[in-house]
Structure 1
Amino acid sequence: MTLQLGLSRNTITKYIDFFKRYQLTSYEVSAMTLEELNRLFKTDQKGKSQQLLTLEKYFPYFDKELRKTGVTKELLWQEYLTKHPDGYRLSQFRYWYREWVKEVSPVMHFTHKAGDKLFIDFTGKKLSIVDRYTGEIQDLEVFVCVLGSSQYTYVEACESQKKEDFIACIENALWFYGGVPQALVPDNLRAAVTKSSRYEPKVNETFVDFAEHYETAVLPTRAYRLRDKAIVENAVRIIYTRVFAPLRNQTFHTRSELNKAILELLPSHNSMSFRGREYSRYSLFEEIEKHQLKPLPAKRYEIKRYANATVHKNSHIYFSKDKHYYSLPYHHIGKRVKVVYSDSAVEIYHQQELLTVHPRTKQKYGYSTIKEHMPSHHRFISEWSSEKFIAWAAQIGDHCKALIINILEKKQHPEQSYKSCLGILHFTKKVGNTRLDNACKRALDYGAQTTILLSVSLKTAGTL
């Protein structure tokens, strides 16, 4: 029997004597729950000494203090010994504290420092919404995260476990907490880890960018190491009781309705005292963890996407997503570049070097141009405009101005007329303003609107 049970002969004899003393049958023992058995064994134990009872009064206080940075069991023992010089030595102190932790919270074996880690997971079970018009049922994933020290919990229903939804849920959680922990601890799901490893898992590129935006680190749990995420696994089990169960008989038609109901249940869960303690997740968060979180950035994160492009001879790339052109320094003409874009900005890289950043513009076939990006002769061309040519002509004379306006108005597109205007205005270098203005008057009378006809007009007037 000792081999089958993995227990010593003396231990087995002790258990048999115990049940005989209470006159329990094997049927009665097998019908008892673990809690009932535990309670029964405790009644057989000797009463606790006054010294132990005194020490146990400090344990809830020690439990909170150990979550603070720099606080150790040895430090707390020294404080205890100062008040009780005849108290337990350090080894006994540690032993009785471990026993108390096992009793009040059997799954909590780690004491996490305040503001250190946020543990992240999805529940195995799902919540659902019903289409108001078709009656179609849509299952939703349920995101759960807890701060390691206070176990302050955030829950949200989302469309999927894909990268966009996963990051959006974490971001909502950070703004719910009002701060950022030192590290994010996700499971090895695809949205977080592209290649799992016991030592150096490869984190999703977008998730890394998100973490950099919030100035935090990503520490994925080790594959098949449940102890690494025991705290959030325990939170999931509790959420089934305190969120899933209360919502089971309610019908929701939209995700926002469901999440509103979840948020209404969270204060009750977070304010409920821990077993064997006089404080709750919320009180721990407010007291020791909230002020240890790093401040949130000024702006929320925008998910970035990627594309490739070639720099055209006009120092622009064509961004096919929006059918828009963006400039970059002209000495990169002909090179293949990487485009990183979000909802508000377009970044252009070459071999990991950031070349330029443009505000994202969705004007089809429009140009976003920075003058310094273009060669000197291209800059001059890019500065052409109808207003510039009209102002130039007005300096020459009223007839010249009228001719330029006439040319600009009759072309289908202003840029089609710019070269014609430039050709006319350049005549002032040869003949001067007065002669050119007179020639423009003669050209207007004849209906001449090209440099060729204007040149003929100047010749017949004897000005060339």
Structure 2
Amino acid sequence: MANTLDPMDLKQIISLHLDGFSNRKIGVTLGISRNTVNTYMRLFKASNSSPKELLALDNATLEKLFPSHTTIDNPRYDELMLYFEGVNKARNHPGFTFLYHYQEYVAQAKDPYGYTQFMEHYRRKYAKAKGSMKLEHDPGKELFIDYAGKKLQIIDKETGELIPVEVFVAILPNSQYTYVEACKSQKREDLINCCCNALRFYGGVPKAIVSDNLKSAVTRASKYEADINRSFKDFARHYNCVINPARGYAPQDKALVENAVNLAYQRIYYPLREMSFFSLEDLNREIKRLLGRYNDLLFSRKEASRRELFQSVEREYLKPLPQATYELKGYRRAKVQKMGYVYFSPDKSYYSVPYRYIGKETTIHYTSSVVEVYYYHQRIALHQRNPSKGSYNTNKEHLSSTHKYYSDWSPEFFKKKAALHGEHVLGCIEKIITAVDYPEIGYKRAMGVLQLHKSYGSQRLDNACKRALQADAATYLRIKNILKNNLDKSSLFYQDLEKDKSHIPEHDNIRGASAYQ
């Protein structure tokens, strides 16, 4: 079954169209059938919005406008591409003819293409990839990225342990202007952070970023249509470019960046061989110094350096950087609980959503500063991220009228309510709330005590609370039992305590305890 194009793919098609790419080039860059691109371009033109207006729409609106077209996931086409690999290997064999291989293909294929289409697909596949001639790269079109195979090291100050670190390499192929950075790992967070730093180093954005099939960049590798992971695709959307992974088993797709890695070994690794570093910051500071010298070296035949070629030719073709720096997004799925909150597992906290979504499955998008909750591509809640574990983060507009009353619960709320029934009620409420670690438990018990006035009246409740305080038994059950058994009216215990007087009458001849010291 074919895969439906998601809104990010639609935006990439529009972005490349605005950059002047032909439909054929858009298809090749994104790994999408040219016919699919043609169909979408016709739909874009038939809509009432310009490409720039379509690009500004949110994902949910764009998906409603263009819901049902698909990318290539065609077994017939894949079968032909696999067959071509064998054809191409036999190309230089004496007596080779395309007609012979076409007839062989027809005999084994379930639904063969015609001979004209057979030849057309072959020429498209191998017209540029075949041969060892030098490929010309348009300025500002692509940025190649990769990790070096060999690692550098830093030393743990406390233990002396050698910690291996990865080395990220990026190159603009037209000028060969190179960026190098050491980082902790090849994980998604480090990869995207390195890409952000590289774009700031270049001061602009290319039309496409060509990566190797890294696990942190590609969810599912494919020779024809790789599946880019969601965070990396969101990074590309923020910087208005596209991600175009290199094809597996196609070394010519990444030859330049691999050559840059080899040169980094010579110009950066080798001078660092006898130096020790105790932090990534120190290591990257020295890499930056050596990288500057490397980019300033003159090409032997061009009589110019990488930096000079970049500044004089390539820089003007880069798109401007966006004003805001990209914040890495994470994603979680969560069901809206009956209380109207979603559970956010990274911080073990809760965020409110409109109560009408109770029971619905949602997607949480989060950065270091905000938490967004989406239901079918529509944002239904936005909160500032609260790193406190176990916290409940509430927007009162999300709550029903019943929930809004409970959201006002606080120590001050209950103290104010208790003061209306007497000072002893207030004393009990304060003691109940401070006696528990989890405030919501104390609030429920306090509310139970306050509700007793409906059955017994404020005066009796205050008397019962006084007795509970004097007996150091200020709990909901004790106060309830005092009222239920009429112990608040007992003269045997309560009235004597209330008078707070000695049963011995005062007399001048009676001496106090001080007389017996």
- If the TM-score is normalised by the length of the shorter chain, which range does it land in? 0.5 to 0.7
Structure 2 CA distance for aligned equivalents of residues 407 and 200 of structure 1: 68
Contact kept, 8 Å, 1:389 with 1:421, in 2: the verdict is: no
Contact kept, 8 Å, 2:467 with 2:488, in 1: the verdict is: no
Contact kept, 8 Å, 2:373 with 2:379, in 1: the verdict is: yes
Structure 1 CA distance for aligned equivalents of residues 481 and 324 of structure 2: 58
- Deviation of the 1:315 alpha carbon: 1.0
The residue that corresponds to 2:405 in the other structure is 380
The structure with more radius of gyration: 1
Instruction: Go from structure 1 to structure 2 and tell me whether the alpha carbon gap of 1:171 and 1:277 turns closer, same or farther (over 3 Å shift).
Output: same
Corresponding position: 1:109 with 2:135: yes
Contact kept, 8 Å, 2:422 with 2:462, in 1: the verdict is: no
- Deviation of the 1:128 alpha carbon: 3.2
Structure 2 CA distance for aligned equivalents of residues 107 and 127 of structure 1: 34
Structure 2 CA distance for aligned equivalents of residues 247 and 264 of structure 1: 11
Counterpart among 273, 280, 290 of residue 305 in structure 2: 280
Letter in 2 for 1:315: G
The residue that corresponds to 2:46 in the other structure is none
The residue that corresponds to 2:347 in the other structure is 322
Letter in 1 for 2:443: E
- Deviation of the 1:184 alpha carbon: 1.0
> Which shifted more, 230-239 or 167-176?
230-239
Contact kept, 8 Å, 1:384 with 1:418, in 2: the verdict is: no
- Deviation of the 1:133 alpha carbon: 6.3
SS at match of 2:186: coil
Contact kept, 8 Å, 1:393 with 1:425, in 2: the verdict is: no
Equivalences for 1:139-288 in 2 at 5 Å? 139-288=164-313
Letter in 1 for 2:137: T
Letter in 1 for 2:272: L
Structure 1 CA distance for aligned equivalents of residues 275 and 468 of structure 2: 80
Structure 2 CA distance for aligned equivalents of residues 279 and 452 of structure 1: 94
- Deviation of the 1:203 alpha carbon: 1.2
Instruction: Go from structure 1 to structure 2 and tell me whether the alpha carbon gap of 1:147 and 1:315 turns closer, same or farther (over 3 Å shift).
Output: same
Instruction: Go from structure 1 to structure 2 and tell me whether the alpha carbon gap of 1:442 and 1:244 turns closer, same or farther (over 3 Å shift).
Output: closer
SS at match of 2:197: helix
The residue that corresponds to 2:362 in the other structure is 337
Structure 2 CA distance for aligned equivalents of residues 267 and 141 of structure 1: 20
The residue that corresponds to 2:492 in the other structure is none
Instruction: Go from structure 1 to structure 2 and tell me whether the alpha carbon gap of 1:389 and 1:190 turns closer, same or farther (over 3 Å shift).
Output: closer
SS at match of 1:312: coil
Letter in 2 for 1:384: W
The residue that corresponds to 1:408 in the other structure is 429
- Deviation of the 1:327 alpha carbon: 1.5
The residue that corresponds to 2:396 in the other structure is 371
- Deviation of the 1:408 alpha carbon: 2.1
Structure 1 CA distance for aligned equivalents of residues 227 and 145 of structure 2: 17
Structure 1 CA distance for aligned equivalents of residues 370 and 178 of structure 2: 34
Contact kept, 8 Å, 2:348 with 2:389, in 1: the verdict is: yes
Instruction: Go from structure 1 to structure 2 and tell me whether the alpha carbon gap of 1:269 and 1:336 turns closer, same or farther (over 3 Å shift).
Output: same
Contact kept, 8 Å, 1:122 with 1:142, in 2: the verdict is: yes
Structure 1 CA distance for aligned equivalents of residues 399 and 289 of structure 2: 57
Task: Give the RMSD, CA atoms, in angstroms.
Answer: 3.7
SS at match of 2:247: coil
Instruction: Go from structure 1 to structure 2 and tell me whether the alpha carbon gap of 1:381 and 1:422 turns closer, same or farther (over 3 Å shift).
Output: farther
Structure 2 CA distance for aligned equivalents of residues 133 and 373 of structure 1: 50
- Deviation of the 1:367 alpha carbon: 1.0
Structure 2 CA distance for aligned equivalents of residues 393 and 409 of structure 1: 9
Contact kept, 8 Å, 2:425 with 2:465, in 1: the verdict is: no
Letter in 1 for 2:267: R
Structure 2 CA distance for aligned equivalents of residues 139 and 439 of structure 1: 73
Q: Deviations over 1:280-321 (max 9, x none)?
A: 222233334335433434444343334333322211233343
Instruction: Go from structure 1 to structure 2 and tell me whether the alpha carbon gap of 1:390 and 1:163 turns closer, same or farther (over 3 Å shift).
Output: closer
Contact kept, 8 Å, 2:338 with 2:359, in 1: the verdict is: yes
Instruction: Go from structure 1 to structure 2 and tell me whether the alpha carbon gap of 1:298 and 1:421 turns closer, same or farther (over 3 Å shift).
Output: farther
- Deviation of the 1:268 alpha carbon: 1.1
Corresponding position: 1:311 with 2:336: yes
Equivalences for 1:36-185 in 2 at 5 Å? 109-113=135-139, 115-131=140-156, 136-185=161-210
- Deviation of the 1:186 alpha carbon: 0.8
SS at match of 2:291: helix
- TM-score normalised to structure 2 length: 0.57
- Deviation of the 1:201 alpha carbon: 1.4
Contact kept, 8 Å, 2:418 with 2:450, in 1: the verdict is: no
May I ask how many residue pairs the two structures share in their alignment?
345
> Which shifted more, 138-147 or 298-307?
298-307
- Deviation of the 1:218 alpha carbon: 0.6
Query: Identity of paired residues, percent?
Result: 42
Letter in 1 for 2:292: P
